[in-house]
């Protein structure tokens, strides 16, 4: 999580958001007991022989929050600050997110507490394979399907798919999504999260009577989600005036050349010293006078102490959990339009679902087909959430949680309790 607000525990915040939506839905105590907490939590030790010969022990997790509506689904994060509580929060959000976009998955998440930036490819591969074998009893195409998250990528998914398949004795591409295309990945999956963020921003602009052409945008976090969202906004005529990554933050009031910035980030690994930009303090990015703010890094970026400085009209949560409930309240009172994470960044899991469907059917779709279906799913979900917001006069986050939690509650009610 971001160091600016280490005092906010993501899981506590996830539970707080659950309670608010459950109260608004008037859910019974019995239903709350059945859907609020993770179904399974696995903590594993991952010993890895490092390049210098010594053995390092990594702590790692896989949490299945819900399988009520389908197999558990969620990414795997490699980061030095991964904790069990963070993984539990991310798994919980996955459950509500899959329900918001109405795909037949539950929620899960995995994480390894490690510093991937200081590990070689060999070390990363050995760690990934050992972690996969440690969580093997939980995962599978019908049980629990991992995907990329922060500092994991298609290569990581390929190692997981290979390890799992070798253990079972035959190829099982559907065990992970976000795979390379050559292994059964879906066209459009790599850019799906950013594309989904873009569609929801389009919807928000339409709702607010704003035009994207000429709108000013600040993007915190320039990885998979942030850079693709920036690219599509740039193509739509918006001006991306500021961008940050974990080491620096750059600004150009006339707009940054995003395709060139993506190229440079790929080559150098950072956005620092990009031509025709000036460095600014990362805290300034959040406070810039701009139309759209896209937090696309980690949890708790905007909290009680800095939310008052945010001036954007739209805050599009590409990241998971970037606003604390306190920040939500401050932004709401100021009239900012927040597109909540479980709606805004649901494009990733939606195309993961498409990938899983294609793997199961051994039949692959064209990119345009993926984009069209994704657009339909995202825009329908946005409309559904907006309808609840309007009818119940609640903020977008509560409306999204009401939609997601309500669908899970309906499903558990129909399934009943075993035995
Ligand atoms: P990524 O590893 O591709 O990129 C993360 C980016 O954030 C990097 O550019 C990194 O430098 C930057 N970053 C890290 N700490 C930062 C800080 N303190 N300030 C500014 N930038 C910082 O990861 P990603 O997949 O783009 O994930 C980003 C967020 O989006 C996460 O919250 C993730 O859970 C969420 N998300 C990702 C997907 C997906 O499909 N990749 C789907 C849904 C949600």
Residue 386: pLDDT over 60: yes
Range with the poorest average pLDDT among 3-7, 97-101, 202-206: 3-7
| Positive/negative CA dihedral, 362, 368, 373, 377 | positive
Residue 1 confidence class, pLDDT cut points 50, 70, 90: very low
- Ligand 1: atom nearest CA of 90 is 34
Cα of 152 to ligand 1 centre, how many Å?
10
Q: Which residues contact 30 (CB under 8 A, 6 or more apart)?
A: none
Q: Is residue 78 within 8 Å of 27, Cβ to Cβ?
A: no
In angstroms, how far is CA 348 from the centroid of its own chain? 7
Count how many Cα atoms sit within 13 Å of the Cα of residue 232 in the half-sphere of its side chain: 19
Residue-level pLDDT at 381:
98
pLDDT tens figures, 28-76: 999 999 999 999 999 999 999 999 999 999 999 999 999 999 999 999 9
Q: Residue with the nearest Cα to atom 30 of ligand 1?
A: 319
Q: Is residue 385 within 8 Å of 343, Cβ to Cβ?
A: yes
- CATH code for the part of the protein at 35-175: 3.40.50.10860
Q: Which fold has domain 192-339?
A: Rossmann fold (3.40.50)
154 lines ligand 1 (CB under 6 A): no
Residue 333 confidence class, pLDDT cut points 50, 70, 90: very high
Residue 6: pLDDT over 70: no
pLDDT tens figures, 262-315: 999 999 999 999 999 999 999 999 999 999 999 999 999 999 999 999 999 999
Residue 8 confidence class, pLDDT cut points 50, 70, 90: low
Residue 2 confidence class, pLDDT cut points 50, 70, 90: very low
150 lines ligand 1 (CB under 6 A): yes
- Summarize the confidence of residues 352-375 as an average pLDDT: 98
Distance, CA of 319 to CA of 339 (rounded, Å): 11
- Which of 264, 296, 323 for mutating ligand 1's site (highest number of atoms within 8 Å of CB)? 296
Cα of 320 to ligand 1 centre, how many Å?
9
Domain boundaries, the chain: 35-175, 192-339
Gyration radius of the chain over CA positions: 20
Per-residue CA distances from 58 to 45, 112, 356 (Å): 6, 7, 29
146 lines ligand 1 (CB under 6 A): no
Residue 3 confidence class, pLDDT cut points 50, 70, 90: very low
Question: Mutual orientation of helices 396-415 and 84-100 as an angle, nearest 10°?
Answer: 80
Please choose, from the candidates 355, 359, 354, 348, the residue with its C-alpha nearest in 3D space to the C-alpha of residue 165. 359
Distance, CA of 323 to CA of 310 (rounded, Å): 11
Q: Which residues contact 68 (CB under 8 A, 6 or more apart)?
A: 35, 95, 106, 408, 411, 412, 415
Is 97 assigned a catalytic role? no
pLDDT tens figures, 221-239: 999 999 999 999 999 999 9
Strand-pairing partners, residue 76, are: 110, 148
Topology match between the domains 35-175 and 192-339: yes
Cβ burial of 365 (10 Å; 0-12, 13-18, 19+) is middle
pLDDT tens figures, 105-149: 999 999 999 999 999 999 999 999 999 999 999 999 999 999 999
Residue-level pLDDT at 164:
98
318 lines ligand 1 (CB under 6 A): yes
Q: Residue with the nearest Cα to atom 42 of ligand 1?
A: 348
The mean pLDDT value of the chain amounts to 96
- The pTM for the full model equals 0.96
Q: What are phi and psi of 357, to 5 degrees?
A: -60, -45
Please choose, from the candidates 325, 317, 411, 405, the residue with its C-alpha nearest in 3D space to the C-alpha of residue 100. 405
Distance, CA of 242 to CA of 288 (rounded, Å): 9
Cα of 190 to ligand 1 centre, how many Å?
13
What percentage of the chain reaches a pLDDT higher than 90?
A: 97
230 lines ligand 1 (CB under 6 A): no
Secondary structure letter of residue 58 according to DSSP: E
Residue-level pLDDT at 4:
41
Cα of 295 to ligand 1 centre, how many Å?
9
- Ligand 1: atom nearest CA of 346 is 43
């Amino acid at each position: 999580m971001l160091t600016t607000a280490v005092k906010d525990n993501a899981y506590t915040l996830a539970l707080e958001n659950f309670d608010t939506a459950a109260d608004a839905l008037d859910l019974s105590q019995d239903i709350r007991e059945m859907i609020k907490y993770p179904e399974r939590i696995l903590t594993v030790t991952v010993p890895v022989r490092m390049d210098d010969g010594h053995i390092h022990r990594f702590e790692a997790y896989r949490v299945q929050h819900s399988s009520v509506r389908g197999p558990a689904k969620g990414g795997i994060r490699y980061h030095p600050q991964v904790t069990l509580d963070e993984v539990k929060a991310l798994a919980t959000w996955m459950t509500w997110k899959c329900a918001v976009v109405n795909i037949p998955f539950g929620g899960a998440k995995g994480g390894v507490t490690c510093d991937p930036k200081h590990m070689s490819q060999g070390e990363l591969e050995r760690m990934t394979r050992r972690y996969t074998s440690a969580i093997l009893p939980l995962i599978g195409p019908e049980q629990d399907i991992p995907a990329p998250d922060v500092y994991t990528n298609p290569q990581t998914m390929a190692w997981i798919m290979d390890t799992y398949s070798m253990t079972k004795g035959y190829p099982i591409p559907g065990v992970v999504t976000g795979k390379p295309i050559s292994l059964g990945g879906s066209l459009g999956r790599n850019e799906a999260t950013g594309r989904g963020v873009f569609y929801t921003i389009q919807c928000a602009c339409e709702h607010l009577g704003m035009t994207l052409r000429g709108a000013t945008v600040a993007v915190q976090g320039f990885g998979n989600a942030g850079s693709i969202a920036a690219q599509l906004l740039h193509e739509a005529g918006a001006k991306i005036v500021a961008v940050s990554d974990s080491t620096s933050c750059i600004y150009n009031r006339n707009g940054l050349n995003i395709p060139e910035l993506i190229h440079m980030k790929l080559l150098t690994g950072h956005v620092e010293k990009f031509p025709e930009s000036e460095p600014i303090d990362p805290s300034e990015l959040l406070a810039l006078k701009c139309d759209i703010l896209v937090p696309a890094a980690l949890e708790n970026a905007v909290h009680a102490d800095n939310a008052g400085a945010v001036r954007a009209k739209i805050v599009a949560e590409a990241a998971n959990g970037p606003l604390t409930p306190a920040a939500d309240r401050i932004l709401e009172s100021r009239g900012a339009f927040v597109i909540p994470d479980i709606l805004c960044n649901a494009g990733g899991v939606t195309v993961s679902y498409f990938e899983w469907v294609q793997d199961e059917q051994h039949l692959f779709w064209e990119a345009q087909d993926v984009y069209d279906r994704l657009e339909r799913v995202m825009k329908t979900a946005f409309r559904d959430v907006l309808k609840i917001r309007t009818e119940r006069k609640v903020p977008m986050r509560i409306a999204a949680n009401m939609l997601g939690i309500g669908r899970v509650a309906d499903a558990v009610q129909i399934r009943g309790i075993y035995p």
